[in-house]
Amino acid sequence: MATDLAPPPVKAAKVAGHKPNRAQTLWRYRWLYLLLIPGLAYFFVFKYVPMRGLQIAFQDFVPFLGYNGSEWVGFKHFVDLFTGPDFNRLMYNTLFLAFLNIIFVFPAPIIVALMLNELRINVLKRSVQSLIYIPHFLSWTIVASLTYILFSVDYGVLAGWIHEFLGGQKIDYVAQPDWFRSIIILQTLWKTTGWTTIIYLAALAGVSPELYEAARMDGAGRWRQLWHVTLPAIRPTIVVMAILMSGNLLDMSFEQIWLMTNNLNRGTADVFDTFVYYVGINQGAYSYATAVGLFKGVAGVLLIFGSNWLAKRLGQRGLF
C-alpha cells in the first residue's frame, strides 16, 4: 500500500508572504510579554514615579508644606552648587575615581576573560571561575570589614606584614587620604571583576572555532589569534559595556565610599553621592541635595548619548 508522504498544505497567507498584524504578534508571544510585567512595574514604581520629587530642586522645599505649598526659587540651588566651595572638590574627587575605574576596573574583566579562555584544563578553569565569582555576592559591609582587618594600623594583617618587610613607621592605610583611592579601586577590582567576566566569556563562547582554524592555517600563533580573531569578535560587547559605564562615571558606589570614609580622609573621600547624603539627610537640605542629584543624573544621560554617538562615528555599533 502506498504511503502519502506529501507535506501538509501551507496556508495561503504564508505563501503570499502575509505578515501577522500587531495583535497577532502580541498574542503569539503573550507569555514572553507577560514576563516583562514585573520588570516594567519595578521601573515604573521605583524609577519613574519618584521623578515627581525632582521638582523640589527648583523649590525651597519644606516637608510640612509639601510640593504645592513650598516656594519656587528657580535655579537658585543649582547656582549655589556651581558657585559653592564644595563643587570643585566634589567634581575632582568624583572624576579622579572615575578615571581610575576606566584605567584599572574596566579592562580587568576583559583581561581575565581572555586568560580564562586560553585555559585548556576544564577543572582548573571552572575552579578559578567559581573563586572569582564569590566576592560579587558579598555586601560592601563585609568588604569594608575585611579591608579594616587587613589594612588598619592596629590589627591589620597585611599592614603588619608590609611594616615587617619594609620597616619604618606603621601606616594606617584605611585612614590616610593618600591611600583612599587605591583601596577603593582594589575593593572594586576584587568584588566586581569576576562577575563582569561572565559577560565577556559569553561573548567569547560565540566566536566560531573555524576562525581560529583559519588563522592557524595562515600561520598565526596564539598572540596573533588573540589580536586578530578574539578581540575583534568581542569588540561590540566591549563598546556596549563602555557606553554603559560612561553613564555611571559620576555615580560612585555610595555604600562603598561611605563605609570607607572617616574624619581623616573625608577631604579625599567626598563624592557627589556621599555629599547628597550628608547635606540632604543629615542637614535636611532636601532641595539642595535634589539639585545635586539631578545634575549628576543629567550629566550621566549626556555622557551615554555622547559616548553612543562617538562609538557610531568610529564605525562601531552603538547601544541604540
pLDDT tens digits along 225-236: 888 888 888 898
105: closest CA among 47, 45, 43, 181? 181
Three cell numbers written together for 165: 618587610
pLDDT > 60? residue 100: yes
Q: Note the pLDDT tens digit of each residue in 289-298.
A: 999 989 988 9
The residue with cell 572615575 is 98
Residue 89 pLDDT grade (very low, low, confident, very high; cuts 50, 70, 90):
very high
Mean pLDDT, range 106-120, rounded to an integer: 90
Cα 187 from chain centroid? 14
Q: What pLDDT shows up at residue 200?
A: 92
Q: Note the pLDDT tens digit of each residue in 40-64.
A: 999 999 989 988 888 999 999 888 8
Indicate the average pLDDT of the chain.
86
Residue 3 pLDDT grade (very low, low, confident, very high; cuts 50, 70, 90):
very low
Beta bridge partners of 59: 72
pLDDT > 90? residue 151: no
Q: What pLDDT shows up at residue 17?
A: 53
Q: What percent of the chain is modeled with pLDDT above 70?
A: 93
Q: What pLDDT shows up at residue 8?
A: 52
The whole-model pTM stands at 0.83
Sign for the pseudo-dihedral over CA of 233, 207, 116, 238: positive
Domain boundaries defined on the chain = 63-123+196-313
Q: Is 280 left (phi over 0), alpha (psi -120 to 50) or beta?
A: alpha
Q: What pLDDT shows up at residue 15?
A: 47
Q: What pLDDT shows up at residue 77?
A: 92
Cβ(311)–Cβ(317) below 8 Å: yes
- CATH level 3 topology of 63-123+196-313: MetI-like fold (1.10.3720)
Angle between helices 122-133 and 107-118 (to 10 degrees): 160
CA contacts within 13 A on the Cβ side of 288: 19
Cβ(262)–Cβ(172) below 8 Å: no
Q: What percent of the chain is modeled with pLDDT above 90?
A: 37
Sign for the pseudo-dihedral over CA of 184, 186, 192, 198: positive
Q: What pLDDT shows up at residue 9?
A: 52
Residue 1 pLDDT grade (very low, low, confident, very high; cuts 50, 70, 90):
very low
102's CB contacts (< 8 A; 6+ apart) are 245, 249
